[in-house]
Amino acid sequence: MTEFLQLTVSGLGKGAVYALLALGFVIIFKATDVVNFAHGSLVLLGGYVVIATKDILGYAGAAAVGIAAAGLGALLVERLLISQSKLADPISLVLLTIGVDVIITEEIIRRLGVTAPFLGGPLEGAPLRLGNIVVFRPQLIALIVGVVLITAFFLAFRYTGWGVAMRAQAENREATALMGIRSSWVTGSAWLVAGLLAGVAVLFIATQDFSGAGLGRGTHAIALAAFPAAIIGGLDSTGGAVLGGVIVGLTEAYTAGYISFDFSESAIYLVMLLVLVARPVGLFGTRELSRV
Amino acid sequence: MRRAFALPALALATTLALSACSGKATDASGGGGSGGVQVGPGVTEDTITLGAFTDLTGPFKLLSEGVIAGHEMWRADVNAGGGICGRQIEFNIVDHGYSADTAVVKYPQLAPDIAGFIHLLGSPINAAIDPKITEDELTAVALSWSSFILDTPYVIIPGTTYDLEIINGLSYLMEQGMIADGDTVGHVYIDGEYGENGLLGTQYFAEQHNLDLRPVKITSRDTDMSDIVTSLRGAGATAIALTTTPAQTRSVLNTAQGLRYDVPVVGNNPVFDPTVLDLPAPALDNLFIVSSSTTFASDVPKAQEVAQTFNEQYADAPPNSYVPYGYAIGLIWQQILERACENGDLTRAGIQQAFRESDSITTQNLVADLDFSVPGAPATREVYISTPDTNVPGGQRTVTDLFKAPEAETYVAPHQPTN
């Protein structure tokens, strides 16, 4: 029982970070119909800025600047590239994001050289103990931050003008434009929010207790593991993204603990396939209706 | 008449001179004579050039820099003593960045002008250029300790192999009362030649002592070991063996400490590098590193001498255990080349023959005495065991003298002759 609870705590902690990342995929997809494969590079960008500014600004200042940099990076991608390609095929835009991902990732890896620095800060430290269960700090804080940010996002999504505009544009872009809502403002803000969430996620990912690795290619790989989470939940469902993140985190932990570690990665994709067979649009995705 | 004779004579002399030069540069086996010694590529009347195909820009940069510092100190000593066979030692160092693709491209730039490789770093690099080494008859010290590669006659493993390291390490734990017959033992290993070679050792030891072995296969990219350690704790493992990278070692130790899972962790020599020392001390106390070579801060007299020279000449460089290892590799090459010189044959074939005749190489206990005369067999079965210690230079403190476990004596390596 102790092992089960320990794996559950570990899975939920990681699931919270996957949820933040998956939410980024979903927000962008809802606003622009683009699957953003540059999300991993935005995670790296945020982490790199934290590393670059930590000595000058201290951890808290550097973390704030890193989060802002990831958000700004996403906004620039949208403003400079995506918004200039309105007539492009969605597949072309996906390829464009892959190109952006390669450029940003390789440049950051080149700058890091052979080092893979941990972001450190208050997230590292002695774990908490609840009887026989150990909760590592990044996992606990990720869970709390994840719940707070996701709740805040849902409240904003439901009750603010921005949220209404986002939902309206996701439903019908032309009608939204006719209602006087600026599409560029909606899409730009969606990319910005997704980038900010990526900037938050990296603060947890590049720690000893969460991933065991500093900032590097491994960080990018973990960020991309959130993609199945978004697919499982439904690529246009924000609630689904959160559930997908938790499912991925728990699947990874349980399979590594009870079946085998090398099966845990493929298990995530196996779950994704099973979900897609049962519900091709994901657990909470919107079924595409077409007139016959 | 005199002029008619002189022109063909000059042409003949020129042709002979040119063919002698080209023979030196390209002929791998025949070679030319020089001072009564047959010579081949990489050997002139004044110099012997050894190549280092290494990683100065990739993940093993620190390791490579330590080994090369050791090589350079050996070279300075040997050259100051008059060189080998009346020739000064020179190095040609080429960086492959731990990329097999880069290594394949750069190999032709390096191979024609060297007598052998003072070191060749990396299992994937070895695998990529192994056929070329055999074709070019280049004897090479592999900085890879897998007994699987001992089927290549030109490969020198300067110490024992991963399988024997683990056998000795587990035997040490048993001798210290940390594990017992019938215990459950986990082994986290990287999929591939390195990890699988280490696992051979655990499997053999488990058979001998009726251990319940729980192998866990990972890839070199995995860094989060928390679920694995949780699972091993649930299985009741009383020790963990590691054939992993330093980052993975760090994650295992960190998680075990967080879970208050207080078990010994024994690992092959590559599981440690100074980044592991970033962990808090209690996490480090359970790690035992098994290695062919002694540590930088060892009390072996030759190691102390090497450390002193290193501190004088490389004041700004971080010390590590690969510095004395680099020096030891120089001593290994010195004895092989001196034997080749005595045989009157410094061609590549002559160097290979001298390597195979070397059954008692000694490095003044930097590494155990080595016997290269049995193809396919590890050159030694003896190891040192060390533990992390932030208070000593290099971060490793030796806890045993050279020793060989009884199980290491009876183990048969994959390519070892059985008769």
Please report the pLDDT score of residue B22 as a whole number.
36
Q: Which residue has the higher pLDDT, B124 or B201?
A: B201
Considering A58-72, A182-196, B21-35, the range whose residues carry the highest mean pLDDT is: A58-72
Contact A257 B59 (CB under 8 A): no
Same domain, B202 and B307: no
**Ramachandran region of residue B329, left (φ > 0), alpha (ψ -120 to 50) or beta?**
alpha
Q: Count structural domains, chain B.
A: 2
Substitution target in B224, B233, B257 with the highest count of A β-carbons within 10 Å is B224
Q: Which residues contact A197 (CB under 8 A, 6 or more apart)?
A: A20, A21, A23, A24, A27, A149
Q: Which residue has the higher pLDDT, B70 or B3?
A: B70
> Which of chain A's residues have a Cβ under 8 Å away from the Cβ of B227?
7, 10, 252-253, 256-257, 261, 264
Band of residue B60 on the pLDDT scale cut at 50, 70, 90: confident
Signed CA dihedral, A121, A124, A126, A128: sign only = positive
Q: Does any CB of chain A come closer than 8 Å to the CB of residue B359?
A: no
pLDDT tens, A235-255? 888 889 899 999 999 999 999
Residue B281 has pLDDT above 90, yes or no: no
d(CA B240, CA A227): 33
d(CA B82, CA B85): 8
Same domain, B264 and B361: no
> Which of chain A's residues have a Cβ under 8 Å away from the Cβ of B224?
210-213
Contact B217 A261 (CB under 8 A): yes
B235 inside domain: yes
Q: Which residue has the higher pLDDT, B136 or A133?
A: B136
Please report the pLDDT score of residue B280 as a whole number.
76
Are A287 and A240 contacting, i.e. CB atoms less than 8 angstroms apart?
no
CA B411 to chain CA centroid, nearest Å = 21
Q: Which residue has the higher pLDDT, B269 or B27?
A: B269
* B83-92, B197-206, B222-231: range with lowest mean pLDDT: B222-231
Both tokens of residue B315? 């004041």
User: What is the secondary structure of B173-208 as a DSSP string?
Assistant: HHHTTSS-TT-EEEEEEETTHHHHHHHHHHHHHHHH
Both tokens of residue B402? 């050279």
> Which of chain B's residues have a Cβ under 8 Å away from the Cβ of A136?
226, 258
Q: Which of A114, A134, A262 has the CB atom closest to B57's CB atom? A: A114
Chain B, window 276-295: residues with a beta carbon less than 8 angstroms from a chain A beta carbon? 279
Band of residue B114 on the pLDDT scale cut at 50, 70, 90: very high
> Which of chain A's residues have a Cβ under 8 Å away from the Cβ of B219?
262
Residue appearing with tokens 């290594």: B103
Q: Which of A136, A218, A256 has the CB atom closest to B231's CB atom? A: A256
pLDDT tens, B326-367? 999 999 999 999 999 999 999 999 999 999 999 999 999 999
Q: Which of A113, A213, A264 has the CB atom closest to B247's CB atom? A: A213
Please report the pLDDT score of residue B6 as a whole number.
43
Same domain, B121 and B268: no
**Where in chain A are the domains?**
2-216
Same domain, B221 and B319: no
Question: Rounded mean pLDDT of B131-149?
Answer: 93
B405 inside domain: yes
Residue A123 has pLDDT above 90, yes or no: no
CA-based angle B184:B190:B195, to the nearest 5? 75
| Helix, strand, coil percentages in chain B from 3-state DSSP, rounded to 5 | 45, 20, 35
Contact B233 A258 (CB under 8 A): no
Band of residue B189 on the pLDDT scale cut at 50, 70, 90: very high
Contact B254 A217 (CB under 8 A): no
Q: What are phi and psi of A108, to 5 degrees?
A: -70, -40
Both tokens of residue B48? 């012997």
Question: Rounded mean pLDDT of B373-380?
Answer: 94
Please report the pLDDT score of residue B21 as a whole number.
37
With residue B216 as reference, give the H or E element that holds it: strand B212-218
Same domain, B355 and B392: no
* B7-16, B73-82, B283-292: range with lowest mean pLDDT: B7-16
Same domain, B364 and B405: no
Residue A183 has pLDDT above 80, yes or no: no
Residue B11 has pLDDT above 50, yes or no: no
Q: Which residue has the higher pLDDT, B6 or A179?
A: A179
The residue of chain A nearest to residue B188, with distances taken between CA atoms, is A261
Both tokens of residue B213? 């072995």
Band of residue B304 on the pLDDT scale cut at 50, 70, 90: very high
Q: Which of A10, A127, A213 has the CB atom closest to B223's CB atom? A: A213
What's A127's DSSP letter?
P
Substitution target in A134, A251, A268 with the highest count of B β-carbons within 10 Å is A134
Considering A163-172, B32-41, B119-128, B175-184, the range whose residues carry the highest mean pLDDT is: B175-184
The residue of chain B nearest to residue A127, with distances taken between CA atoms, is B258
B5 inside domain: no
Chain B: closest CA distance from residue A114 (Å): 6
> Which of chain A's residues have a Cβ under 8 Å away from the Cβ of B61?
114
Considering A3-17, A177-191, B19-33, B337-351, the range whose residues carry the highest mean pLDDT is: B337-351
> Which of chain A's residues have a Cβ under 8 Å away from the Cβ of B218?
261-262
Residue B4 has pLDDT above 60, yes or no: no
B394 three-state secondary structure: coil
Contact B259 A134 (CB under 8 A): yes
Question: Rounded mean pLDDT of B123-130?
Answer: 85
**In whole numbers, what is the pLDDT of chain A averaged over residues?**
88
Same domain, B262 and B401: yes
Question: Rounded mean pLDDT of B84-101?
Answer: 93
pLDDT tens, A189-227? 889 999 999 999 999 999 888 888 889 888 998 888 889
Band of residue B180 on the pLDDT scale cut at 50, 70, 90: very high
Q: What are phi and psi of A187, to 5 degrees?
A: -70, -40
Same domain, B153 and B302: yes
Q: What are phi and psi of A215, to 5 degrees?
A: -65, 125
Q: Which residue has the higher pLDDT, A95 or A285?
A: A95
Band of residue B216 on the pLDDT scale cut at 50, 70, 90: very high
Chain B: closest CA distance from residue A225 (Å): 13
Question: Rounded mean pLDDT of B125-145?
Answer: 91
Q: Is the ipTM of this complex over 0.85?
A: no
* A128-132, B7-11, B208-212, B241-245: range with lowest mean pLDDT: B7-11
Substitution target in B56, B231, B240, B273 with the highest count of A β-carbons within 10 Å is B231
Question: Rounded mean pLDDT of B259-271?
Answer: 94
Please report the pLDDT score of residue B419 as a whole number.
67
Q: Does any CB of chain A come closer than 8 Å to the CB of residue B45?
A: no
B218 inside domain: yes
Percent of chain B with pLDDT over 90: 74
Both tokens of residue B247? 């980052």
The residue of chain A nearest to residue B218, with distances taken between CA atoms, is A262
Q: Does any CB of chain B come closer than 8 Å to the CB of residue A256?
A: yes
> Which of chain B's residues have a Cβ under 8 Å away from the Cβ of A127?
258
Contact A136 B251 (CB under 8 A): no
Any idea what the CATH number is for the domain that residue B74 is in? 3.40.50.2300
Please report the pLDDT score of residue A57 as a whole number.
94
Q: Does any CB of chain B come closer than 8 Å to the CB of residue A208?
A: yes
Q: Which of B58, B227, B247 has the CB atom closest to A257's CB atom? A: B227
Domain limits at B278? 162-291+385-410
Residue appearing with tokens 């002139």: B44
Q: Does any CB of chain A come closer than 8 Å to the CB of residue B222?
A: yes
Contact A260 B217 (CB under 8 A): yes
The residue of chain B nearest to residue A134, with distances taken between CA atoms, is B259
Band of residue A287 on the pLDDT scale cut at 50, 70, 90: low
Closest residue by Cα to residue B275 from B388, B188, B162: B388
> Which of chain A's residues have a Cβ under 8 Å away from the Cβ of B250?
208, 212
Percent of chain A with pLDDT over 70: 98
Please report the pLDDT score of residue B122 as a whole number.
85
**In whole numbers, what is the pLDDT of chain B averaged over residues?**
89
Are B110 and B92 contacting, i.e. CB atoms less than 8 angstroms apart?
yes
Chain B: closest CA distance from residue A210 (Å): 7
Please report the pLDDT score of residue B32 as a whole number.
52
Percent of chain B with pLDDT over 70: 91
Please report the pLDDT score of residue B400 as a whole number.
95
Are B262 and B286 contacting, i.e. CB atoms less than 8 angstroms apart?
yes
Same domain, B173 and B287: yes
